[in-house]
Each structure stands twice: as structure tokens, then as C-alpha cells.
Amino acid sequence: MPEKMPKQEPAPQPTSEVNYPPVENGVDYLDSVADHLRFGQPSPRNLKYAVLHLQAAAELLLKARLQQEHWSLVVKDPGAAKRDRFEAGDFDSCTTTGAIARLKDIAGVTVDDKSAKSLAILSKWRNALQHYGLKAPAPAVETRAAQVLDFLLEFIHGELLPALPGAKASAVEEDLVAIGMKVRQIKTFIDTRQKRLDAELRDVTNRTVECPFCGSFALVVGQGPLSPSCRFCHTAWNEATFAAAAYAEVFSPDAEAALQTCPTCSNLALVVDWARVLHATELKHLCFACGEAFDHLAQCHGCLDMYVPSPNEDVHLCKDCLPARLEKF
């Protein structure tokens, strides 16, 4: 009787797996963002996924550069970081804002202020979408997304590609070329819209500031206490005070101190030190209600409001507090 052959097991089938290393993963997210935005006037759904995927890309790419410096910098508390937990993905990572701070302070990476602001705003929008929903003007989302895309593409070229092995670097470069072509379509659409505004803003450049929502120099202030609005993204505020507060929160390191009462119109709509108007490089004191700009202001030691001091004045009292002080003598 012939010997029985052992039972043959089925030949092993090639297994597929999800394998996206950080840089390649971030680039793939950028490609998705460009696809969602590159056709004029994307739908709300496209904008939603653009925000989600762009924030995912930003976190991956910023933290990939931190990891090049040292793996523990990606962890929320580097002092308590453990290598085995990091390699298993079992850890809390730092925030986007924290990653930017560590890149600048520890790795010596340059992140310009405008890009840092756009990344911070993008992070807020993503959190809103994930937890309770987002309501924002579509042009604002497009413009901020284009700014972040621009920054991240340069960031990959300057900070991440040099550390990749040759074959991987070449593959990423090919992907970046394709994404760059899509981004140029987005920027062309945005630039065309901005050019249409040039004539409209020509006579109000002295009171047109950068919109805290979209980042375009198209927020016209000084139209009274009610309803300033951005001519680019159409974001409107019910009161000049709210617009000034939103502006100070984005552009000033101390939003509370930057928002003061205007000595001319008495509205709480004066942005101190941090207002920059269209086509100007210097910072100004600017009232978002009456539109008046001030070259020099001082804080009254009596009421703590801002006032315009007289030449050589050194008593540090406004015109209302000075008489009351003199009565004591």
C-alpha cells in the first residue's frame, strides 16, 4: 500500500498592509487637500475634508522634523517619554502649536509668523469640526488652506527631504511636483479674486487691515461701531469691538492689553501697537470703530484709558483725570 502523502497546506497568499511612514503619509494627505480645493468654489464637503486632511498633514510633517531632532520631542512631556511606548505608538503627542515652538526653539527651524498663525487657525478649525462642527466662510478656508499648503511644501523641501534615503526622496519629490501643479491652480483662483478687490479698496487702504479669518488684507474698518466686514471672505462682525477683539487675538501676543477704548470715539475698539494697514509696513494704533490711527498714545495713570499726550507732557493723566488731580492741590 503506497505511503500516504502529507496533507498540503494552501500556499501562503501575499498579505497587504497599511504602511505609510510619516513623510509619505503627510504628502499623501497634501495630495488629497489639493484635490479637494483645486477646482474653483469647492463644495462645503470638500472644504471640510480639506481642513481635516491638511491638519493631519501638518501634524505629521512638523512632528517628523521633530523626530529627526530627537524622538522624545514628539511626546507631550519629553521628560517622561519612554522609547518602547513611543515605538508602539502608545503616547500623547504635543500639539501643533507646541510642535512649532519646539521646532523654533530647539531645532532652529524658521517658521514665519504668518504661517504659524495660519497653522494655529487651521488647528482650531479642525478641532471645531471634530467636536462640535465648524461654521466659517468658504473663501477664508480656501485662503488659509493655500497658505498652509505653501508653507508645508517648502517645509518638506527644506527640512524633510534632505534626511530621506535617495529612493524615498525621489519618490516624494515626484509627488510634490504633482501637488505643486494643483496648488498653483488654487492660488490662481484666489489671486484672481484678490485682484478684483484692488480697485474697491484703493480709497480705504489707510483703514484696511488683514482679516483674522482669511488672512487677506480686505477687512475695512472705521465705518462706525457696527458691522465691519471683510471684502474678500465676507466675514462680518456685529460690532467693531468684536472685530477688534478677533484681530487682537490673532495678531497680538497680549490680546487683552491690545484692545483699548478709543480716545476719539470712546468705543472699546482701539487696537494698540499691533494694527497694520494695507500697503504699510509699520504697526499702528488703529480704532476699528472710527478708523482713526494714532502715532503716539499713552495710558492714563488715573482711569487707565489711552489718550493722546501733549508734546513734552509727563503727568500721565488724560484731559478728564487731570482736573480732578489738580483739585487736590
Alpha-carbon gap, residue 197 to 189, rounded angstroms: 13
* Same domain assignment for residues 119 and 246: no
Please tell me whether residue 260 adopts helix, strand or coil conformation: strand
* Same domain assignment for residues 133 and 213: no
Give the CA distances from residue 329 to residues 303, 321, 323, 324, in Å, rounded to whole numbers and listed in that order: 19, 14, 10, 10
Q: What pLDDT does residue 17 have? A: 57
Q: Which residues contact 174 (CB under 8 A, 6 or more apart)?
A: none
* Same domain assignment for residues 37 and 143: yes
Give the E-state strand segments of the chain in sequence order. 208-210, 217-220, 229-230, 259-260, 270-275, 284-287, 293-294, 298-299, 306-307
248: cell is 487682537
Q: Which domain-ending residue is among 109, 144, 163?
A: 163
* Same domain assignment for residues 126 and 222: no
* Same domain assignment for residues 124 and 207: no
* Same domain assignment for residues 206 and 128: no
Angle at alpha carbon of residue 132, lines to 129 and 137, rounded to 5°: 50
Q: What pLDDT does residue 1 have? A: 47
Count of domains observed in the chain: 2
- Cross-sheet strand order for the sheet of 270-275: 259-260, 270-275, 284-287, 293-294
Amino acid identity, residue 120?
A
Closest by Cα among 297, 22, 327, 318 to 168: 22
* Same domain assignment for residues 247 and 132: no
- Angle of helix 22-37 relative to helix 166-201, nearest 10 degrees, comes to 30
* Same domain assignment for residues 140 and 248: no
Averaged pLDDT, groups of 10, the chain, 329 residues long: 50 56 92 86 86 94 94 93 89 92 94 89 89 81 86 92 89 90 81 81 92 90 88 89 94 91 93 90 92 89 84 75 63
For residue 122, the enclosing domain spans 22-163
**Cβ-contact 31, 175 below 8 angstroms:** yes
Q: Which domain-ending residue is among 133, 163, 193?
A: 163
Q: Which domain-ending residue is among 136, 163, 190?
A: 163
CATH code, domain carrying 40 = 1.20.120
Amino acid identity, residue 315?
V
